[in-house]
Structure 1
Amino acid sequence: MSSLRDITVIAPHFKRRLSGVTSTVVQLVPEQVRLGRGIVTLGPGLPDSLPKMRWAQLPELWKRPAGGRSRIWHARRNSEMLPGILMRSVLRMPLKLLFTSAAQRNHSRYTKWLIRQMDAVVATSARSGSFLEVPHTVIRHGIDLEVFHPPQDLDDTIGATGLPGRFLVGCFGRVRHQKGTDLFVRAMIELLPQHPDWTAVVCGRVTAEHQVFGDELKRAVAEAGLSDRIRFLGEVDDIKPWYRRLTLYVAPSRNEGFGLTPLEAMASQTAVVASDAGAYAEQIVAGETGAIVPAGNYDALRDAIEPYLADPALAEEHGRKGLEHVRASFALRGEAEALERVYSAMINL
Structure 2
Amino acid sequence: MSTTENRAAAGPAVADVGAVEVIAPNFKRRLSGVTTTIIHLVPVQMRTLGIATVGPGLPDTLPKLRFGQLFGLLKRPKKRPFRIWHARRNPEMLAGIVLRDVFRAPVKLLFTSAAQRDHKPYTKWLIRRMDAVIATSGRSGSFLTVPHTVVMHGIDLGQFRPPAIPDDDFAATGLPGRYAVGCFGRVRHQKGTDLFVEAMIALLPQFPDWTAVITGRVTPEHRGFADELKKKVDAAGLSERIVFLGEVPDVKVWYRRVSLYVAPSRNEGFGLTPLEAMASRTPVVASDAGAYAELIVPGKTGAVVPAGDGNALREAIRPYLADPALARRHGEAGLADVIERFPLEREANAIAEVYERMWARG
Same fold (TM over 0.5): yes
8 Å CA contact 2:113–2:133 kept in 1: the answer is yes
For residues 41-91 of structure 1, what are the alpha-carbon distances to aligned partners after superposition, in whole Å with 9 as ceiling and x for unaligned? 111111111111111111010011112111010000001100100010011
Q: Per-residue CA shift, 1:323-347, capped at 9, x if unaligned?
A: 0000010111110000000011112
Aligned to 2:39: 26
- Is structure 2 residue 319 aligned with structure 1 residue 339? no
Question: Secondary structure of 1:45's partner?
Answer: coil
The alignment yields a C-alpha RMSD, in angstroms, of 0.7
| Residues 1:6 and 2:29 are matched in the alignment | no
Partner Cα distance (2:239, 2:29) in 1: 33
Q: Quick check: 2:15–2:64 contact (8 Å CA) kept in 1?
A: no
Instruction: Output one character per residue of 1:280-336: Cα deviation in whole Å (capped at 9) or x when no partner.
Output: 000000000000000000110000000000001100110000000000101111100
The one-letter code of the counterpart of 1:332 is L
Quick check: 2:15–2:52 contact (8 Å CA) kept in 1? no
Pair 2,29 (structure 1): closer, same or farther in 2 beyond 3 Å? closer
Amino acid at match of 2:250: D
Alignment of 1:320-339 (within 5 A): 320-339=332-351
State the match for 1:194 in structure 2: 206
Residue from 283, 287, 299 that aligns with 1:271: 283
Question: Could you give the per-residue CA deviations for residues 77-112 of structure 1, whole angstroms, max 9, x where no partner exists?
Answer: 001100100010011111110000000101000000
Does the CA-based 8 Å contact 2:52-2:63 persist in structure 1? Answer: yes
Cα contact 2:100–2:108 (8 A) shared by 1: yes
Partner in structure 1 of residue 74 of structure 2: 62
Which one of 113, 133, 136 corresponds to residue 148 of structure 2? 136
Which residue identity lines up with residue 334 of structure 1 in the other structure? Answer: R
Instruction: Give, in whole Å, the separation in 2 of the partners of 1:16 and 1:200.
Output: 31
| Candidates 236, 243, 263, aligned match of 1:231 | 243
> Could you report, residue by residue, the CA deviation over 1:245-282 in whole angstroms, capped at 9, with x for unpaired residues?
01000000000111000000000000100000000000
Equivalences for residues 79-90 of structure 1 within 5 A: 79-90=91-102
Give the CA deviation at 1:16.
1.2
Q: Distance in 1 between matches of 2:156 and 2:15?
A: 28
| Paired AA for residue 96 in structure 2 | G
For the Cα contact (< 8 Å) 2:15–2:63, is it kept in 1? no
8 Å Cα contact 2:24-2:53 kept in structure 1: yes
For residue 184 of structure 1, report the CA deviation from its aligned partner. 0.3
1:287 to 299, 319, 325: 299
Correspondence for 2:106: 94
- TM-fit CA distance, 1:2: 4.8
2:61, 2:128 → 1: CA distance?
34
**C-alpha distance in 2 between matches for 1:25 and 1:335:** 12
Distance 2:199 2:121 in 1: 39
Counterparts of residues 151-170 of structure 1 (less than 5 Å)? 151-170=163-182
Gap runs ≥5 in structure 2 = 1-13
Distance 2:15 2:252 in 1: 33
Look up the SS of the partner of 1:5 in the other structure. helix
Unaligned runs of 5+ in 1: none
Letter in 2 for 1:57: Q
SS in 2 for 1:249: strand
SS at match of 2:63: coil
Q: 2:319 aligns with which of 293, 300, 307?
A: 307
Corresponding position of 1:175: 187
TM-score by length of 1: 0.99
Separation in 2, partners of 1:346, 1:85 = 16
Tell me the matched-pair count: 348
Q: What is the distance in 2 between the residues matched to 1:317 and 1:76?
A: 36
- Structure 2 partner of 1:250: 262
> Partner of 2:216 in structure 1?
204
Alignment of 1:26-45 (within 5 A): 26-34=39-47, 36-45=48-57
Supply the distance in 2 between the matched residues of 1:8 and 1:2 (Cα, whole angstroms).
11
